[in-house]
Structure 1
Amino acid sequence: MLEDGHDDFDTADDLYDAIGAMLQQSDDSKSDNEILEICASLFRLMNGTKIDAAEPRQKLLNAPVQISLIQSDSDKPVDQKSIWIAKKENSSVVNQKKLEKAEALIKKKQDRKSDVKSSKPNDTQEEATASQQFNRKDTKMEAAGTNRSYDIKIENFDIAFGERQLITGASVHLVAGRRYGFVGRNGLGKTTLLKMISKGSLMIPSHISILHVEQEVAGDNTLAVDSVLECDLVRAKLLGEEKEITAKLSSSPTGTDNCLSTRLSEIYRELEAIEADKAPSKAAVILAGLGFTTQMQKMQTREFSGGWRMRLALARALFSQPDLLLLDEPTNMLDMKAIIWLENYLQTWKTTILVVSHDRQFLNNVATDILYLHSQIIETYRGNYEDFHKTREERLKAQQKEYEAQKEYRDHIQIFIDRFRYNANRASQVQSKLKLLEKLPELKPVEKESSVTLKFTDCDHLQHTVLQLDEVFFHYSKDRPIFKDINLNTQSDSRVCIVGENGAGKTTLLKILMGDLEPVKGFRKANRSLRIGYFSQHHVDQLDMGLTSLELMAERFPGKSSEVYRNRLGSFGVSGDLALRPVSSLSGGQKSRVAFALMDMLNPNFFILDEPTNHLDMETIEALGKAILKFQGGVVLVSHDERLIRMICKELWVVRDGTVTSLEGGFDEYRNQVEKELESSGV
């Protein structure tokens, strides 16, 4: 800043306005006057002035200097005030052999160090780095503590991950109280940007509170409801002080203490002002909306699985209601009922939200604005996701028309130049056209993201019923039945979606259909030619991360040529060098595609898919839906992605209270039922 902006600072106060806040932040022990003195010293240095003396470094000579009179003999004293210094002969003689020997020794040590360094495993993971440009006015207001706006401006910032540049020269402006959906392809840096904001790597006004729902709640003896209530630090502090004062008063011989009694009255007034008595009911409503029953709310946090602890983290964030709430794929951990509740809850949210999500319907119902990350930049669109999609398509069409018009104009000029280039009578006109061509702006084609294509292998068509459950009963323990008297059947062209609350038994039902679990009572019937392709979200986590996708295919299905493996991977967008990269270096969406390719190697004629969209971006979810529609076999799907459900499913199975029912009216009817349940329960 000091080097590039040398001419921008006319006084030391200007310099203080620009960097004073940063200096203060680096050392809180310094007072404003001390920081101002440092800035004044820096200003004098920048302008070539000594710090401890008033006289400038550039001295004017008292009289002209005659070069012929300057002494050249090194034995004679030299006037130290002269601008000329006599050169000493042989002032430094280097022994060349010793120099070469020393350089060889240094090089040997450096090579040894580099060998040791390369032999050691790299335990430290690369971390993302961020830089941003600061507005002088905002910096001055921040330093003075006069900024009261809850709008957030992060201007001209860069984010890199190691040597890879993720975002360059982007700016984000979040208006207080609006809900921003953050979209873009997997692996471009959306999650990284959220982390940079929450860690303070990108500076926002210090009076704005931030909460990033990133890690699950630690498991301990704290009750679930108490874990949520702890987030209200003001309430917790006042209640703790009230308890302490009450204990002192009860242990006092007289039972009275004017100071303590006065303070206790103040605490009661403060608790009443923040409506502390309503906090438990508010926490209970949030927990109930996210699927916690009354009994679960009284369970200790250590008794919950990782998925439920993430729900607790989300509940704590919703309860504390920060000025800026950062959410990263919040619907991944929720069932359909909880997603519908969360959509309704966030629609009345009063502060600012920035949410990364690939759930199209969720963004349609929640977002007021869309931030779109592509080509290392971020664009802002007003409206929900459908509005964004429509506006972007129109913008791309307009850009394409402009590109074509510019290209046609350039081609017209070039034809004239080529035609009369060697015509002497038209030489001046040709030169004029050449200059005109040089002045035209650079012609850039419209950048379009590469389309995503998924393709399942063609399969044989099965006749009659493919899978059937007759009067099936199932339980893990006799006192807790999971299913009672279930009757279901699927055909070769079935497109069934299974919905229900978490814990209702959706995954258990899939395992019974596949034959992994035997019914306690009843029968499972399957077509003798049935080949099931099963996809689970856990399959992605169970891939061998040390192998490449090609090696993984060869290990699971040995004996085939490399071309067969590459063709199958290519059908799911894992081609070229991507197939030769370790699985650990792939994004979540790319790992899912590898898992799909492995599933497809079995040439299945029936799919059972358990939450296949969790790691996929919107474009890949759309491609998955199209691939399933083209698939010739049957499909049974468990998903919370409303867009995918509406796209492919012809039948909806609702798992509830130990039964499985086919719902007439499809997803719209199910959504209406859930909203009525939420309304009647007061959640």
Structure 2
Amino acid sequence: MASYVDILKSEFPEIDTELFDYITGVLENCGSDFEDGEEVFEAVGGVLQEVSADVKNEDDVRDICLQMFNSLKMNNCHGARKQVLLDAPVQLSQISAHAHTEVNDVQGIWMMKRPQNTTVDAKKLEKAEAKLKAKHERRNEKDSQKSTAPVVLEEASASQSSSKKDSRVDLSGKNRSYDIRIENFDVSFGERVLLQGADLSLAFGRRYGLIGRNGLGKTTLLKMLSSRSLRVPGHITILHVEQEVEGDDTRALDSVLQSDTVREGLLTEERALNARINNGTADGTESVRLSEIYAKLEEIEADKAPARASVILAGLGFTPRMQQQTTKEFSGGWRMRLALARALFARPDLLLLDEPTNMLDVRAILWLENYLQTWASTILVVSHDRNFLNAVVTDIIHLHTQRLDGYRGDYENFIKTKEDRLKNQHREYEAQLQYRQHIQVFIDRFRYNANRAAQVQSKLKLLEKLPELKPIEKEAEVVLRFPDSFEKLSPPILQLDEVEFYYSATHRLFSGLNLSADLDSRICIVGENGAGKTTVLKLLMGDLTPVNGVRQAHRNLKIGYFSQHHVDQLDLNVCSVELLANKFPGRPEEEYRHQLGRYGITGELATRPVASLSGGQKSRVAFAQMTMPSPNLYILDEPTNHLDMESIEALAKALNVFKGGVVLVSHDERLIRLVCRELWVCEAGIVRRIDGGFDEYKHILHEQFQKEGYL
């Protein structure tokens, strides 16, 4: 097995010598004290993350730390001193009486082995040890059965009714329309019905935003479309940006170019034909076919493809150097961006996007908004970003109560139209209710009047023929609440004063960093991915120590931290109640359920394995875990990822009424505008405050786009 030194050199070939010596020194001196890979990550993971910010994410670094821990464990096992039995008691008093006894003699005593003619019955001893071992195994199996048992996740399925006419048209190939209409279909996830008797219409060239509460089935619907479990005409090409690009030796730019299969096929055929001509194996038809290929390449503007691919990559944050890197050099987040770039370059007939802004910083989101506004084919996007939807979509599809409702216009128009619809439905419901009550009053009044019997019977039949009266189903309001800490702390409760931080002399991150937070602070830190926003948060929390400068924190400060990789910190094999019980033992189950209920995890949701919850529901579980100790300062890293819009609004309200400080990193414009009173930009090794707030920051980014030619 490779040593931790070899692993470090292999995974970080360009690591600075000074930093390499520091990490190997920590592992060498403390290796025997580490109990698992997580402790290795806590010791050196932050350093390794910053060293490889462009190519490795937190998950990659955790895996590397686990490999190094296993290497340390193996070395410790091989180097451990074997314990042996002595053949007689050792009289230490006699040893001390003879001062001339050599040290080597004493060492020899301890290494003498018991001879085989022991008085202990070997068979009995073996039997007792086997019995004891079996007892321990049964106990361990009983204790860890729940936590180690693999979670069997439910699978999604879809079904739809179809007419013989539709089937004949599909088989004949006469349907050349790029509009999509799927009628009367059902979608289930395990035993739960997500959609029942639903209809979906997508007109070619329009951009649809699919919205709805967490856990209702938005992501599942996209998967049913991309897998063609729901019937989509075969001539319509579909691309679902769901999985990151596989890491290999392909350059990022080439990876994007290869996504245009038509262009790649023509170029491959061109090379093959030219090779046959050059080898003298041509049969005379090659020149004709080459002329056709060149005409087709000119028609699709193949010569402009590299420039177009480069513009897309640059807009998504790939520098010219990064565009030449191989895909295996990038972290998972950057490979997801690469998958998005490939989809944008390939220009499918139907583009499916699931929370595309989660992987992007504000700069890349603004670029993507502008790019998608000129998209020629159909888009169906799931997004929690209200401003992104307002900028991009032409229609809204609302998933609720197992059905889909369509609305023309952007998200703001959807909100207004939905409210108007609810008001009209409520008025219609009230009118029908009054009409029924009026008829019922007549029936009750003259039920036993013989002269009015015919009229009463007529009214009864009329009442039976009226359509079923259903009350208006209004979605319950999402409410989040962060418990207040009523202890008053004198300001500043947290401060960075002239902080300088770097991992090595050649990898400087910050200098002259000044930042302070009080109990009434509402600070947002923005900046491009890789600029060091998370590093600033770790300096604030004390997870990283400044090279120069001072971090000062109030002695009674309690920090609640929400990581953008919060799912990695949750035990997915247990339910939410067990999760809190394991983290905060000794409290009644009702307290755990009450805590989860504050964040919408109620009823059977609280008893489901965390792995089976949607992304937004897992975020709520993470909120419940974070707020259990009642911190007085929250540091939140991308808290809106996976939350639906109603939950983001509720989060903003909860933070505004919370009697404590808030420092957050976010790209969600809506949350920033609702919560933050200070905006700090992290770039080029400094963190500076922008007095004009988010509007000023957007103006700066637009000017950069225009200067760089991306708009």
TM-score, length basis structure 1:
0.79
Cross-structure match for 1:339: 365
Cross-structure match for 1:39: none
Instruction: Give the alignment partner of residue 330 of structure 1, picking from 356, 371, 374.
Output: 356
More off after superposition, 400-409 vs 626-635: 400-409
Tell me how far 1:454 sits from its aligned partner. Answer: 0.6
Tell me how far 1:471 sits from its aligned partner. Answer: 1.0
More off after superposition, 352-361 vs 218-227: 352-361
Cross-structure match for 1:678: 705
Q: Tell me, in whole angstroms, the C-alpha distance in 2 between the residues paired with 1:208 and 1:548.
A: 41
Cross-structure match for 1:504: 531
Tell me how far 1:193 sits from its aligned partner. Answer: 1.5
Q: Tell me, in whole angstroms, the C-alpha distance in 2 between the residues paired with 1:452 and 1:494.
A: 25
Cross-structure match for 1:355: 381
Cross-structure match for 1:435: 461
Q: What is the letter of the counterpart of residue 482 of structure 1? A: L
Which deviations, in whole Å up to 9, do the C-alpha atoms of 1:26-57 show, x marking residues without a partner?
xxxxxxxxxxxxxxxxxxxxxxxxxxxxxxxx
- With over 3 angstroms needed to count, the CA separation of the structure-2 counterparts of 1:144 and 1:658, relative to structure 1, is same
Cross-structure match for 1:105: none
What is the SS of the residue equivalent to 1:202?
coil
Q: Tell me, in whole angstroms, the C-alpha distance in 2 between the residues paired with 1:275 and 1:444.
A: 57
Tell me how far 1:432 sits from its aligned partner. Answer: 3.1
Structural mapping, 1:74-93, within 5 Å? none
Q: What is the letter of the counterpart of residue 172 of structure 2? A: A
Structure 2 residue 680 is matched with structure 1 residue 647: no
Structure 2 residue 694 is matched with structure 1 residue 667: yes
Tell me how far 1:159 sits from its aligned partner. Answer: 1.5
Structure 2 residue 332 is matched with structure 1 residue 293: no
- With over 3 angstroms needed to count, the CA separation of the structure-2 counterparts of 1:481 and 1:441, relative to structure 1, is same
Structural mapping, 1:506-525, within 5 Å? 506-525=533-552
Structure 2 segments unaligned to the other structure (5+ residues):
1-148
- With over 3 angstroms needed to count, the CA separation of the structure-2 counterparts of 1:576 and 1:130, relative to structure 1, is closer
Tell me how far 1:472 sits from its aligned partner. Answer: 0.9
Instruction: Give the alignment partner of residue 221 of structure 2, picking from 190, 193, 198.
Output: 193
What is the SS of the residue equivalent to 1:537?
coil
Structure 2 residue 260 is matched with structure 1 residue 223: no
**8 Å Cα contact 2:183-2:198 kept in structure 1:** yes
What is the SS of the residue equivalent to 2:318?
coil
Q: Tell me, in whole angstroms, the C-alpha distance in 2 between the residues paired with 1:205 and 1:613.
A: 36
Instruction: Give the alignment partner of residue 459 of structure 1, picking from 467, 473, 485.
Output: 485
Which deviations, in whole Å up to 9, do the C-alpha atoms of 1:490-514 show, x marking residues without a partner?
2211111111110000111100011
Tell me how far 1:608 sits from its aligned partner. Answer: 0.4
Structure 2 residue 486 is matched with structure 1 residue 479: no
Q: Tell me, in whole angstroms, the C-alpha distance in 2 between the residues paired with 1:420 and 1:225.
A: 84
Cross-structure match for 2:303: 277
Equivalent pairs: percent with the same residue?
65
Cross-structure match for 1:413: 439
Q: Tell me, in whole angstroms, the C-alpha distance in 1 between the residues paired with 2:499 and 2:173.
A: 68
What is the SS of the residue equivalent to 2:493?
strand
Structure 2 residue 262 is matched with structure 1 residue 240: no
How many matched pairs? 561
Cross-structure match for 1:212: 240
Q: What is the letter of the counterpart of residue 350 of structure 2? A: L
Structure 2 residue 178 is matched with structure 1 residue 166: no
What is the SS of the residue equivalent to 2:230?
coil
- With over 3 angstroms needed to count, the CA separation of the structure-2 counterparts of 1:429 and 1:252, relative to structure 1, is closer
**8 Å Cα contact 2:151-2:611 kept in structure 1:** no
Cross-structure match for 2:32: none
Structure 2 residue 630 is matched with structure 1 residue 630: no
Which deviations, in whole Å up to 9, do the C-alpha atoms of 1:295-350 show, x marking residues without a partner?
00000001111111111110000001011111111111111111110000000000
Tell me how far 1:128 sits from its aligned partner. Answer: 2.1
Cross-structure match for 1:69: none
What is the SS of the residue equivalent to 2:353?
strand
Cross-structure match for 2:408: 382
Cross-structure match for 1:97: none
Cross-structure match for 1:310: 336
What is the SS of the residue equivalent to 2:565?
helix
More off after superposition, 203-212 vs 571-580: 571-580
Instruction: Give the alignment partner of residue 619 of structure 1, picking from 617, 633, 646.
Output: 646
Tell me how far 1:156 sits from its aligned partner. Answer: 1.5
Which deviations, in whole Å up to 9, do the C-alpha atoms of 1:446-503 show, x marking residues without a partner?
0111211111112224322122111111112221211121111122111111111100
Which deviations, in whole Å up to 9, do the C-alpha atoms of 1:364-386 show, x marking residues without a partner?
11000011111111111000111
Structure 2 residue 639 is matched with structure 1 residue 600: no
Tell me how far 1:609 sits from its aligned partner. Answer: 0.4
- With over 3 angstroms needed to count, the CA separation of the structure-2 counterparts of 1:658 and 1:434, relative to structure 1, is same
What is the SS of the residue equivalent to 2:635?
strand
Q: What is the letter of the counterpart of residue 206 of structure 2? A: R
Structure 1 segments unaligned to the other structure (5+ residues):
1-120
What is the SS of the residue equivalent to 2:512?
strand
Q: Tell me, in whole angstroms, the C-alpha distance in 1 between the residues paired with 2:399 and 2:554.
A: 47
What is the SS of the residue equivalent to 2:246?
coil
Which deviations, in whole Å up to 9, do the C-alpha atoms of 1:565-586 show, x marking residues without a partner?
2322222222333323332232
Structural mapping, 1:47-62, within 5 Å? none
Q: What is the letter of the counterpart of residue 548 of structure 1? A: C
What is the SS of the residue equivalent to 1:501?
coil
Tell me how far 1:421 sits from its aligned partner. Answer: 3.0
Structure ID, larger Rg: 1
